[in-house]
Amino acid sequence: MTTLSPEILTQLEGQGIELPSWAFGNSGTRFRVFATAGTPRDPFEKIADAAEVNRFTALAPSVALHIPWDKVDDYAALRRHAEDLGVQLGTINSNTFQDEDYKFGALTHHDEAIRRKAIDHHLECIDIMHQTGSRDLKIWLAEGSNYPGQNDMRGRQDRLQDSLQQIYSRLSEKQRLVLEYKFFEPSFYHTDVPDWGTSYAQVAALGDRAMVCLDTGHHAPGTNIEFIVMQLLRLGKLGSFDFNSRFYADDDLIVGAADPFQLFRILVEVVRGGGLNNPDVAFMLDQCHNIEDKIPGQIRSVLNVQEMTARALLVDRAALDAAQQANDVLGANGILMDAFYTDVRPALAEWRASRGLPADPMAAYAASGHLQKIAAERVGGTQAGWGA
């Protein structure tokens, strides 16, 4: 069995992966959203489910909220609820993609009244951050156009910068703005923030506390995502990850399910660039569990990230550097592949048991009866979901 060194175990022990509250609600596709027994009916129950993931894995110490999906009357009470369950409230995500007024744009809209409404929504999110103790405001914009000539693309970029400046100016000195990009959908001709370069250009103009969010499912097929990770770390602008998997587009499947080797390569660059356990680089999941149970889906996800992190930490960096310096193409590739093919699961199971955690969190959760318990208890009310 592969042995993980004390140094590697120390780094793994410091790893934390933020969970998205919306992953515990019902979701699906544009064709159907499926209901599941035991689905949370409010943000308090979502956080309780996230705390279960952390209880079985010790990998998920915080929960991201989505506004208005997670609006409550008393955010201090929600924060206490989370802390009582052993987790914290994390990133606040804004939403300008489900309001009729935003059909033709929000932060980029030429109508100043609509743009003001979108800016004010983000200012409300910042007010919520003060109450939840959150550091990051994450912005993803479903803005762009479907036809050539439909909009003035440069004007939209100018208005976006002005909107972001107004939002950024309201952050406290301990808070950050994180701008996410996505190369297409729901706009198909052009998207206002389609790539890391556009996101970088926008946040670089704001200041040191404005960063880029990299969603692993938001790239064109064949994109070398680990190169982008390297570049943003090099520039000091990689603020957060949204981990998920894709086969075709923005599928939001369990991270590592579609291409485990890609996840490994990304984490190799994270380790190389000093992004692991770096407080300036937040790890988060952004997934929708359409047909699988939510809590086990999140458990599997954080375990996948942990496993590929362990493999990335096994890369013999000295040997790899030497092979690269010698232009030993096959030797260098072989060193990387040796780490990727190493089965670290038995060593991780043994390490978890030594810490008082289940050796197999998936099996332990299945045997706990918790899923059956919440299915019996959460009867009545309206199940949470993203409303598609």
DSSP 293-362: -HHHHHHHHHHHHHHHHHHHHTS-HHHHHHHHHTT-HHHHHHHHHHHHT---HHHHHHHHHHTTS-SSHH
CA neighbours within 13 Å on the CB side: how many for 359?
8
Can you give the CATH number for the domain in which 270 is found? 3.20.20.150
Sequence-ordered list of residues with C-beta below 8 angstroms from that of 234, at least 6 positions apart, any chain: 273
> What is the SS3 assignment for 99?
coil
Distances (CA, A) of 101 to 30, 84, 96, 106, 193: 21, 39, 9, 8, 19
pLDDT for residue 275? 98
Average pLDDT on 196-219 reads 98
Q: In this model, does residue 300 exceed pLDDT 90?
A: yes
Q: What percent of the chain has pLDDT over 90?
A: 96
Q: Is residue 361 part of a domain?
A: no
Q: Is residue 201 part of a domain?
A: yes
Q: In this model, does residue 127 exceed pLDDT 90?
A: yes
Distances (CA, A) of 237 to 198, 214, 276, 280: 12, 10, 14, 9
| Tens digits of residue pLDDT in 210-229 | 999 999 999 999 999 999 99
Q: Is residue 302 part of a domain?
A: yes
DSSP 100: G
Beta bridge partner(s), residue 210: 177
Q: Report whether 159 contacts 107 (CB < 8 A).
A: yes
Q: For residue 219, what are the domain limits? A: 12-314
Q: Is residue 383 part of a domain?
A: no
Give me the chain's average pLDDT, please.
97
| Tens digits of residue pLDDT in 271-296 | 999 999 999 999 999 999 999 999 99
Q: Is residue 142 part of a domain?
A: yes
Q: Is residue 325 part of a domain?
A: no
pLDDT for residue 387? 52
Can you tell me the distance from the alpha carbon of 87 to that of 24, in angstroms, rounded to the nearest whole number? 15
Average pLDDT on 84-96 reads 98
The count of structural domains within the chain is 1
Q: Report whether 175 contacts 129 (CB < 8 A).
A: yes
Average pLDDT on 249-255 reads 95
Q: Is residue 241 part of a domain?
A: yes
Q: In this model, does residue 209 exceed pLDDT 70?
A: yes
pLDDT for residue 31? 84
Q: Is residue 367 part of a domain?
A: no
Beta bridge partner(s), residue 234: none
Residue 120: Cβ within 10 Å count: 12
pLDDT for residue 30? 76
Q: Report whether 237 contacts 203 (CB < 8 A).
A: yes
In the chain, the largest separation of any two C-alpha atoms, in whole Å, equals 66
Six-digit token pair at 318?
Answer: 């000295």
pLDDT for residue 91? 98
